[in-house]
Structure 1
Amino acid sequence: MPESLNHRVEACYQQAEAFFNRRFPRPEVSFKLRGQKAGVAHLTENLLRFNPKLYTENREHFLKQTVAHEVAHLIAHQMFGGRIQPHGEEWQLIMRGVYELPPDRCHTYDVGRRKVTRFVYLCQCPSSSEFPFSAQRHSLVAKGRRYYCRRCRATLVFSGEQRVE
């Protein structure tokens, strides 16, 4: 885990403590997040997870905005309880008031979609509709799960064709 990320988390907590004049328990911080999300706050576990790839590619903005964004979720939860909206007034108050940052809900980092394999399934409709299945759904079929066409109600059958998209 990069030391700069830990320093930024700590700095965000110190800012919140000075603003609200109270202590907050420090979260566990993990660098094990993949996919399109830059960060995730697990409220009840007091856990922050960050995406190492997006951190590396967007370091300056990530440290400033994304870390504060996720810390603000934990602070809002601890200040106002579990019934608040994830990006509601309370969270926005912390982003604007404590961190003086825009309360952006989503990042704009390039997530570069990875190539995926699709498994083509067919039904018995006269128009012979194709159904591209993910690898996960294809493996469920191999384990006995059945999927049906909504029009002809026939069981979808693997055509043997795979496509990389």
Structure 2
Amino acid sequence: MSEHLLSRVEHCYQQAETFFKRSFVRPEVSFKLRGQKAGVAHLTENKLRFNPQLYRENRDDFLKQTVPHEVAHMIAHQLFGAKIQPHGDEWQLIMRGVYELAPNRCHTYAVQRRKVNRFIYRCSCPDGEFPFSAQRHALVSKGRRYYCRRCKATLNFTGEQRHE
């Protein structure tokens, strides 16, 4: 795990403690996050998860923006409780006041989308093609039915698959 990232998490906590003049419980930090999210704060588990690929590809901005973003969620939860909005006023106060950062909800990192299989279903409409995910296709094989909203016909698997 990156010592720089762990050090940045600790620094963010120390900034918050100086600002609010109180201590905060440190979270477990993990690099077990994949996909499009750069980081996730699991508030009730007191756990931060970060995406190692996005960290490697966007290291400077990740340390500057993403780490404080996720720590701010943890601090807001400890200060204000579970009933606040994830990116609400309390979280924004911490982003602006403690970290002096714009309270941006989402990152702008380039994310490589992984290739997935699509199972092609059709109805009786001329252009009625529906690519199903593997999960939805499995539900059909267990008896679930899906219908076209236009012609109301049952969608049927064509036997075709596409790799997208």
* Shared fold per TM-score greater than 0.5: yes
3-state secondary structure, aligned to 1:41: strand
Q: How much is the aligned-residue C-alpha RMSD, in angstroms? A: 1.3
**Match for residue 40 of structure 2?**
40
Report the identity percentage.
Answer: 77
**Match for residue 99 of structure 2?**
99
Partner deviation per Cα, 1:133-157 (whole Å, 9 max, x = no partner): 0111112222222212223333211
Q: After the TM superposition, which of the residue ranges 49-58 and 133-142 deviates more from structure 2?
A: 133-142
Matches within 5 A, 1:1-165: 1-125=1-125, 127=126, 129-165=128-164
Find the aligned partners of 1:122 and 1:128 in 2 and give their Cα distance.
9
Q: CA deviation at 1:128?
A: 5.5
Q: CA deviation at 1:109?
A: 0.1
Find the aligned partners of 2:145 and 2:40 in 1 and give their Cα distance.
34
Provide structure 1 residue ranges, at least 5 long, that are not aligned to the other structure: none
Q: Which amino acid aligns with 1:70?
A: E
Q: After the TM superposition, which of the residue ranges 8-17 and 143-152 deviates more from structure 2?
A: 143-152
Q: CA deviation at 1:112?
A: 2.2
Find the aligned partners of 1:154 and 1:87 in 2 and give their Cα distance.
42
Q: CA deviation at 1:123?
A: 1.6
Find the aligned partners of 1:152 and 1:105 in 2 and give their Cα distance.
40
3-state secondary structure, aligned to 2:33: coil
Partner deviation per Cα, 1:45-103 (whole Å, 9 max, x = no partner): 11111111101100111011100000000101111112212111111111111111111
Find the aligned partners of 2:7 and 2:113 in 1 and give their Cα distance.
30
Residues paired across the two proteins, number = 164
Find the aligned partners of 1:144 and 1:48 in 2 and give their Cα distance.
39
Q: After the TM superposition, which of the residue ranges 148-157 and 111-120 deviates more from structure 2?
A: 148-157
Provide structure 2 residue ranges, at least 5 long, that are not aligned to the other structure: none
